[in-house]
Structure 1
């Protein structure tokens, strides 16, 4: 069974090709890291999966998500798959969170819309979603507005929203980049646990191989919109074939060294 099957995905903006014939597949429980520097096309690829690309971009190829063809689909069909079949967590949680709405109400919306929950049952489900992402005092968090929470708490609320309807695929687009190192590690551990429990497929988008190596089994490296290398994360980290991948690996190792308290830096 395949959750996500992308074949020759191409995204153009006018005469510019931003994503060039990218293909990838994900089965339930599989974790793929989509790696590349800024401008490599990784975020555009992830947005194309849910039909969230900005207006004016032309998309060709095939994106089949849990049996639904996304490329060329209308808004009604796209709305049906969002949250139910796939959900996305962004680098900045305020992208997903309404600053004028309490956290509990924001989590309640997909539960009400997708699962038909109401009243006390809905309230219990909201608190359970907050507890599952290990937020302390879930009742207080549910009553809080985004500006009343820390960055790490906001990202956990965004994750709770994404997982509320038990999607088959979770797209995590640089979800830890804006967090400090300690909170980043905690969130990665939490994500690892939740994914194992639910046997979800995960597409983890990042510029940092060190982060991808903690969460993904396989990796696809993008450069200038094209796939340049694909394989097991262990193989890519220890024996990268392409010069571009070797540069990413070197950068990740330098970063790990810089963040290692034993280095004295």
Structure 2
């Protein structure tokens, strides 16, 4: 059953500049798709469009159907119901996603309160559980901490706990490990792989790094200058890239062989 169906998505600025041009893709429940491209290719804007979070001055045409809800042209009250329940997002830099003036526990509690109606002791227990599920040690201390009192890896785990709190059907991961060092990045990718597998969630993993995408996804769509240039099973794209840009990505990807070996072992 199709969970996400995008048809002819076009994103333009108010002055008529086309940022994403006639993009189509689909994603079934439990499926993992990598959206790959260099900076400015339109991949992150596509991710934002799925949740109706486009910046002011950018308009969408075409169709984005998420779990039966049409996103393009939807009213904010309808989009609010979709966010967190049907899809949630983890961004590259958690400092932009977390409120610097709010303790981590309160931020994780917000979707649990709004979506599940939890309060009191049940809410506090659910917050600790959510932090434990993303493998945060001392979850009670983390819940009392402000973002600046945590490491980058801890902040990203808190952001992931927020995204997963209400068990969305689709997790959008927009360059979630780029700001982390190599060892922490590997830990986060392993954790993400485990958590989405346990929940049978669909994943749209946005990245410029083919080796990172190979750790998480089974299929990939390559974007360049706002257009999809190639799509297929990840192993096929790596072994027989058809487009010149895909060939360049494969040629420049580091750690690709080990990443693919890990992927095949999943």
TM-score, normalized by length of structure 1?
0.95
Q: CA deviation at 1:256?
A: 7.9
CA contact (8 A) 2:10 2:18 kept: yes
Q: CA deviation at 1:251?
A: 1.3
Distance 1:158 1:55 in 2: 24
Q: CA deviation at 1:253?
A: 3.2
Distance 2:232 2:215 in 1: 15
Map 1:55-66 to 2 at 5 A. Answer: 55-66=56-67
Q: CA deviation at 1:254?
A: 7.4
Structure 1 partner of 2:213: 212
Distance 1:252 1:70 in 2: 34
Decide whether aligned partners of structure 1 residues 28 and 255 sit closer, same or farther in structure 2, where only a CA change above 3 A counts: closer
Structure 2 partner of 1:28: 29
Distance 1:256 1:43 in 2: 26
Structure 2 partner of 1:7: 7
> Which ranges of structure 2 fall in alignment gaps of 5 or more residues?
259-266
Structure 1 partner of 2:263: none
Structure 1 partner of 2:157: 156
Query: SS of the residue aligned with 1:3?
Result: strand
Distance 1:90 1:208 in 2: 15
Distance 1:254 1:246 in 2: 16
Q: CA deviation at 1:238?
A: 1.5
> Which ranges of structure 1 fall in alignment gaps of 5 or more residues?
258-265
Distance 1:95 1:161 in 2: 14
Structure 2 partner of 1:222: 223
TM-score, normalized by length of structure 2?
0.95
Structure 1 partner of 2:187: 186
**How much is the aligned-residue C-alpha RMSD, in angstroms?**
1.2
Number of aligned residues: 257
Distance 1:253 1:212 in 2: 12
Q: Is residue 98 from structure 1 mapped to residue 103 from structure 2 by the alignment? A: no
Alpha-carbon displacement from aligned partner over 1:64-122 (angstroms, at most 9, x marks no partner):
01100000001111111001110000000012100000000000010000000011110
Distance 1:57 1:102 in 2: 32
